[in-house]
Amino acid sequence: MHEPDNNSLELALRASNEGIWKWDLSENKIHYSPLLLKFMGNSPEQPAPHLFENIENTYHPDDVAKLQSILTDFMLTSGNETFGADCRYNHPDGSPRWFRIRGACNRDNSGAPTLIAGSVIDITQRKKSELLLAEEKHLLNLLTESIPINIYFKDVESKFVMANTATAQKVGLKCAKDIIGKTDHDFFDPIHADSSRKDEVMVMFTKENLEGALEKEVWDGHAETWCITSKHPWLDQNGKIKGTFGVTNDVSEIVHTQNRLKKISNIYKKRNDQYIEELKLATEVQQAILAKKIPSLTNNFTATFSVSHTPMHGLAGDFYEAIPISDTKMGILMCDVMGHGVRASLIVAMIRGLISKEQASASIPQDFLENLNKGLCHILSKAGITMFSTAIYSVIDVKKATITMANAGHPIPIIKQKSHFKLTDPSSIKAGTALGLIPNSQYNDSILKLEDLDEIILYTDGIYEVINNKQEELGIKNLINKMNSNKTNNLSSIQNLSNIAIKYSHDQKFNDDVCLLSVKFKKNITTWTSQK
């Protein structure tokens, strides 16, 4: 066999990245190879510390006692021929370096060592990796033991090889080690265990995940439970199947709750369908009561009526009422009840009931509103409800050519004079308190002459409270300005109002109930002249 020469031995040592040391005990001299000096942070010209003397100054305090014990045993006449230790060396740069120290000795006839030689490998990076790996393993174990879901690994025969405590406790065991080597057949009903095994075989065969499957677990002699399970192929570093691993989360309570909620939901759905049907009927009745067409009045003037009603929901709190008084007189009431939906519609029904009792005062607007207010306040007070409604009531007399109106907190009308739209002069229509708030509120009549008007428009505030994309409200003045700039189209005034508001709205919808009523006036020259 060929013996390696010094050069080949040096090459082998360089390849192994080992530093060499030799300690001659007879002269108490220690020698280091250049590579070892490099490990130690010294050069051949610099004195280096003795690796095995005054070790409390050379190594990390936590490693001194261990190394001292190893050296003491080794130096005994009955000691071993070799020793080894992993220690943290105090490097001159202030950082600890992990050294793996190995040594062997020659002994004299008494067994005392005379020459010791060995090697040193700098394993700092390896130790850091080992410590990092150990910390990661600790964190992973801490995580798997802390979360309440089941985590487990199984081999190719579906035997448990690792599981957290939650998994063991689920199947009735005290700790995780008790489940090792067992299969689902040791705990579950055969049908469920066979199904589970089938899924795991498929996962191993296809190497594809089985994600989030809802499983009904049938236990041998126990009540069924439900879980969501994800199963994955367990592969080694070379991609070879080692088994499966999975995560199971018990959702029994959720499933049972869902089943209970489903039953309750079906009950409430039936009730809700009944309510919807009743509300639909109520909406149809409410809409049917509204006069879709109000007959014209003719004498000295002709008054032609147009109406529009757009509820935000099925049932509305905005409404109008036409009250015939005589062949030449018509009472027009417009109301805007606070709120929307069923609550507001009930107040609408109350007001309509009161209207039918106030026919005698229908020709005098201020008396009519005062009586409506007293009746509504009485009903709301008895019911303990705080609600109100704005209202404006007008009596149109085409023989006397006047409009007499009283206002209960309602927006003042828009009038058209010589093809120009504007608000009625606020000083000519004094607004009183909204209906339903103060029992003894008083209202004042105001009179407008028909010969000064082309048209009058009553409305509720939903027409101008629409919001654009900048969250800016349209406003009544802006609405009127836009009306005056749209004179060329052939739409009616209330159609024009609606189109302007819808176009301005950020979602092309009204934000509130909208009620519009227009009355156009035309002078009958022959009749008017003869009566004058």
Where are any strands of DSSP class E within 45-125? 82-90, 96-107, 113-122
CA distance 260 to 239: 46
Angle between helices 341-357 and 252-289 (to 10 degrees): 30
Residue 455 CA to residue 436 CA, distance in Å, equals 30
CB of 151 closer than 8 Å to CB of 232: no
So what's the pLDDT on residue 193?
Answer: 87
233 and 213 Cβ atoms separated by less than 8 Å: no
Distances (CA, A) of 386 to 206, 317, 374, 389: 70, 15, 14, 11
Residue that wins the pLDDT comparison between 199 and 137: 199
Tell whether the model's pLDDT for residue 76 goes beyond 80.
yes
pLDDT at 458: 96
β-bridge partners, 155 = 243
Domain 290-531 superfamily per CATH: PPM-type phosphatase domain (3.60.40.10)
The pLDDT value given to residue 90: 94
Q: What is the mean pLDDT of residues 490-503?
A: 90
> Region 215-228: what's the mean pLDDT?
73
pLDDT at 530 (0 to 100)? 53
Strand ranges across the sheet with 446-449 = 318-324, 329-337, 389-397, 402-408, 446-449
CATH class for the domain made up of 147-250: alpha beta
pLDDT at position 279: 62
Per-residue pLDDT of 260-303, as tens digits, reads: 888 888 888 887 777 666 566 655 665 666 667 899 999 999 99
Q: For position 356, what pLDDT does the model report?
A: 85
DSSP label at residue 294: P
Please report, for the chain, the start and end positions of each structural domain, with discontinuous segments joined by +.
6-128, 147-250, 290-531
Q: What is the mean pLDDT of residues 370-399?
A: 92
H/E segment holding residue 287? helix 252-289
Residues 424, 482 contacting (CB under 8 angstroms): no
| 326 pLDDT tier (thresholds 50, 70, 90) | very high
Fold of domain 6-128: Beta-Lactamase (3.30.450)
Question: Which has more pLDDT, 314 or 450?
Answer: 450
Which whole number is the average pLDDT over 68-80? 93
What is residue 1's predicted lDDT score, i.e. its pLDDT? 37
> Does residue 257 sit in helix, strand or coil?
helix
- DSSP of 300-369, one letter per residue? SEEEEEEEEEE-SSSS-SEEEEEEE-SSSEEEEEEEEESS-HHHHHHHHHHHHHHHHH-GGGTTSHHHHH
Q: Is the pLDDT of residue 170 over 90?
A: no
What integer is the mean pLDDT of 302-313?
A: 89
Burial-class residue 392 by CB neighbours within 10 Å (0-12, 13-18, 19+). Answer: buried
pLDDT at 382 over 50: yes
**pTM for this model (two decimals):** 0.53
Q: Are strands 150-155 and 113-122 parallel, antiparallel or unpaired?
A: unpaired
- Provide the 3-class DSSP secondary structure of residue 144: helix
pLDDT at 529 exceeding the cut of 60: no
* 107 three-class SS: strand
| Cβ-based neighbours of 223, under 8 Å, separated by 6 or more | none
22 — pLDDT class (breaks 50, 70, 90)? very high
| Residue 2's pLDDT band (cuts 50, 70, 90) | very low
Domains 6-128 and 290-531 share a fold: no
